[in-house]
Amino acid sequence: MGYLSVSLNTLIESQNWVLWAGAAVFLAVCLLIGRLRRQITLAGVSAQVAAAMDEIFVAWDRGGRVRVVNPVFSSLLNWPESSVIGKPLAELSFVFSAEILQRLKDMESKNQFGPAGDAVFLTRQSGRIDVSATLAPLKDSGGRRVIGSILTARDITATKRSQEAFQNERDFKETILKALGVAGQGAAIVDKDTLRFVYVNDTLCRIYGFSKEQLLAAPSFLNFVAPEEVYFLRERLSRKMPEGQFPAYYDTIVERKDGKKITIEVILEKFPWREKANLMVAMIRDITERVELLRARDARAQAAIAESEERYRTLTNHYPQPVFIASEGKFVFVNEACARFFGASGAQDLIGQEVTAFIGFEVKDWTNERLAQFMAPGSGLRLMEFRCRRLNDAPCQAEILGLPAHYGGGPALQGIIKEMKDQGGSLQEGAPGFGFEPAA
């Protein structure tokens, strides 16, 4: 009996060992099957999703090993699948920049999924592709457990280059505007619809005497224009801007903050950025000193002309023969002898009168055509005989010597008259009198 009891105990113990061993094997098989199922899900389902995408797709498991990439990955980056499949993501620095690898690691450690920002992927030919990346969780078939991560990336290289070119253009234009300021040129950007400043450089602030904030806060740049100039400037702009007449040039007067009025020269040009068609560039220069110098020079010139004319009047008033000056077909000066010749009480009776009312007065007379030739600017020295009329309508015959002259700053004709006495017939052109030969 004792032997039988020992044998039974040994058998029971041996059976327990077998049961425990069988249970361990069963558990290991289950774990293996579960892992295989997850890998199959990761490699199968992810591959199906990836193949349908037109963006770069990379999926890796919880251990960080890459399991799936889609054809877009290979076509854009020119890396074969075999170069990345099964490798840890951290070792793929030849594909992903160090910055995006660190960013993905931080996001996974914090379970933060979503936009991963812009990044740089490297091609097999050492090129660079700018992408916009997104990190998403990869879950099991039941959708409960996270078994990996998915990175999708959209190629934004062309967009990025376009943005960089646009920004470079903006920087270039702003540099030009600042350079104008360094050269002493005021520069501003103006809204064409509201006439409001949207940008002013420091030089313009110095010209106007206002701060940048005060200029930009004004509802219109017309607020700084002298009141007597506002209407004319508004009219000028209303004509030029709708017709697109650029560049537009004008001078105007503005009132500085200290109350001083200055003259500025403005050049308006279209804004060079296409998306800002409602803006204009204004280049502004203070020309007050130049205008004052020109005014002083003109004043001196006018004074010199007036002095010269006064000396001429004094001289010719004592000249015994009739002398007149005509400009634009009218008498502008006659001496005392000329006033007596036409029967006037004084020069005031003739000044402003049409010359043809007294010389070559008969409309149908052939002398009218000769008078037009005689008085034409640049006609040179001429000697002609004309039929004349006095204020009392008495006719007379006269020989007139015409000389080109200047009066009041403009071209004029100076005439010296000699009355022809009746000697049994009318005098012919070129008859003796002044001792000059008639003009051809």
**pTM for the complete prediction?**
0.40
Query: Which string of b and e fits 220-245 if b means at least 16 CB within 10 Å?
Result: ebbebbeeebeeebeeebeebbeeee
Runs of H (alpha helix) within 52-149: 71-77, 98-109
pLDDT at res. 42: 47
Lowest mean pLDDT among 243-247, 393-397, 415-419: 243-247
pLDDT tens-digit series, residues 312-358: 778 788 888 999 998 888 999 999 999 999 999 989 999 999 888 88
Lowest mean pLDDT among 231-235, 250-254, 305-309: 305-309
Which of the four pLDDT bands, split at 50, 70 and 90, describes residue 217? very high
What average pLDDT does range 125-147 have in this prediction?
A: 85
pLDDT tens-digit series, residues 6-43: 444 554 455 555 555 555 655 654 454 445 444 444 44
CA distances (Å), origin 248, targets 100, 221, 269, 270, 283 = 52, 16, 7, 9, 11
The residue assigned the tokens 């004004």 is 218
- Stronger pLDDT, 199 or 25, i.e. the higher one: 199
Q: Which domains does the chain have, with CATH numbers?
A: 36-155 (3.30.450.20), 172-286 (3.30.450.20), 319-419 (3.30.450.20)
- Burial (CB count within 10 angstroms: exposed 0-12, middle 13-18, buried 19+), residue 107: middle
pLDDT at res. 215: 93
Residue 188 has pLDDT above 70, yes or no: yes
Sheet bearing 410-419, strands edge to edge: 330-334, 323-327, 410-419, 395-407, 382-389
pLDDT tens-digit series, residues 351-379: 999 888 888 755 444 455 656 666 665 56
**Distance, CA of 301 to CA of 18 (rounded, Å):** 130
Q: Are 402 and 382 in contact (CB under 8 A)?
A: yes
